[in-house]
Each structure stands twice: as structure tokens, then as C-alpha cells.
Structure 1
Amino acid sequence: MSVQKDSDLVEELRKGNVKAYRTLFQEFYDSLCLFANKYLQDFDNSEDIVQEAFITVWDYRKDINSYASLKSFLYTVTKNKCLSFLKNNARKNDLLNGASFFTEMFYEANVVEEETYRLLEKGIKELPDQSRKIIQLHLEGFKNQEIADELNISINTVKTLKKNAYKNLREIIGVFAILFLDV
């Protein structure tokens, strides 16, 4: 998403636009579930926590001023809800003694990881059709010759398109790293 689209999304969200809210949900839901699951190790509860986090975003939407603050708010609310859930359930099990997920380093590392995956997935979706198929097959473990056979193209075409696709994806992730440092 471009910077302009990001700021438009935030502005529409602030106005209470349900479509903007739905777009935000679709963009972040999977990543936030994976992020929450790093804390909870329970995907069902992770999904519940993320849904609660989105309700909180809706409740505080008028206070969100930028896309960067929106992302930060989403991850922070999700983390806090996870930690509250763990503390409330700590009496049932003694899981929390010395748990590393209470550290800021654990939080930051997982935010970076999930944002990187989210952006990589988004970048792959934006690749030209043939390049996207090649990268998806490669990520599934296909070798160059297998990809060429699967798509009925030459192995040199596979190599060239894969090289260009990875170059584009590195640029996307590189831009993300710069933007993330500004947050």
C-alpha cells in the first residue's frame, strides 16, 4: 500500500468507515494471529485476542493519527491482551515463571518478524502473474526445472523471472526496514 493509500485508510477509519475497517482487518488479521500465538501457543485463543484487539481499534479509531501509529497500536493492544490473558490464566498453571514473552525484546522481535512476513506476502501478491507463480512454487520447495515443467516455460525464463522477483521483494522489505525504524 502506498503512503497516500495508508493515510487515506487511516482518515476513513477515523471517520468510522466500515469498509476501511474491513480493509484494515483483512490486511493485519493473519499476521496479528501469528503474533499473538507466539505468546499464547494456542491459535483459538490467539484469534479471540486479535478480534478483541480490532474492537479496541474501532473504539479508539478517532485517536489514531497515522498509519505507523495504527500499526503500533494494533501490535501493542494485541500484546497487552495476550499478557493479560496469560496473567489471568497463570493461577491455573505455573507457566509464567521467568517467561521471556514479558520482555520488550520478545515483543519487538515478533513485531518485526510478523511485519516482514506480512509485507513479503503482500509483495508477492503484487508481482506480475508469472513471477508470482514462480515464487510461490519456489517457496513450496519446487526446484527450477520442476517450476519450468509445471508452468511450461524454459528454465532460463524461470531463473530470470525469479531473480527479478526477488530483487523486487528485497526492495519492498528494504523500504519496510527503513519505515519501521521511523516508527
Structure 2
Amino acid sequence: MSLREDIFLQGINRQEVPAYRELYSDYYRSLVMYALHFVTRQDVAEDIVQELFVTMWNKQMVFLSYPSFKTYLYTSVRNAAFDYLKHQDIKQRYAEQWAALHEEERRATAAFDEEVYRQLYKAIDRLAPKCREIFLMAMDGKRNEEIAETLHIAIETVKTQKKRAIKQLREQTALSVWMLLFLLKG
């Protein structure tokens, strides 16, 4: 070990700021380049090296020889890069599982919605013709006044037919009142 390396290593072991400045100026770029052999993102490689320097300072690392110091630096960068890659792989697998689960839920919901609408329209088809016509117009978003005007009937007749339709549909299907009301508003 040269005198310069010996003085440098003693400074690192004593946590002297000038030694850490020298560590940064002498090793930062080469450690980042080394990290880039494993990770493809510059910002991640820089974070790995910066985290290494912070860890060395916080843990008050002491090195017995200059070769063990250099080995520690490069091994730590490699291990941190591998940890990052493992974490990315886990995140990717989790994201894929999450997407698959939600796609499955979406399909199940769509199938449920289709069944609800199938039951609803089947029940609507069993309504009396005038009652069915009024209810379908209401489902299309027409107001009571519009329905009455279009069919040339009283507004009270429209209201009565809609109530009758909701009552019959509720009895014929598993649909709740709030669902029927939602369908009438939508």
C-alpha cells in the first residue's frame, strides 16, 4: 500500500471530510459506471453509489487495507444493483398479477352486468305493452312530461305506469328498487 493510499484510508476510517471528498472525486464516476453494467438507468446507478457513501459514513466503516476497501466498494455496488433488480422484478410480477386480477374482476363484473340487463329486459318484455313503452322511454332518459306529450296521455298516467313497471320488475327479478331507479335516471 502506498503512503498516499495509507493516508487516504486512515482518513476514511476516521471519517474525515477531506478523505470523503477524495473518495467522491476518485471513485464516484467509476462506481456509477460499474453500477450501469447491471442497471440501465443513470439515476439508479447514481443513487446506488450515493447510498453506499452515506452508508459508509453512517456505519463508520473501518477498513484494514486498501485492497479490502476497494473490494468493499465494488462488491457493495454490485450487491445493491442486484437488490434493485430483484426489487424491480418483484414489482413487475406484482403489477402483472394486479392487472390480471383486476382484468378478471372486470370480466366478472361485465358478465354480472350483462346478466342483470338480460334479466331486466326479459322482465320488461313481460310488462303490458303501454307500461313497457313508458318504462323504456323513461330508461332512455325522457322526463315524464316528454313521455306524456309524445304518447298523448296525462302525466299522472305516466307516473302510475312507471310505478307499476317498477313494482312488477322488482317482483320478477332480483333487482332492487335503487337499481331500477338508477336505470331510470341513466
TM-score range, shorter chain: 0.3 to 0.5
Select the structure with the greater relative contact order (CA < 8 A; seq sep ≥ 6).
1
Larger Rg: 2
User: With structure 1 as the length reference, what TM-score do the two structures score?
Assistant: 0.48
User: With structure 2 as the length reference, what TM-score do the two structures score?
Assistant: 0.47
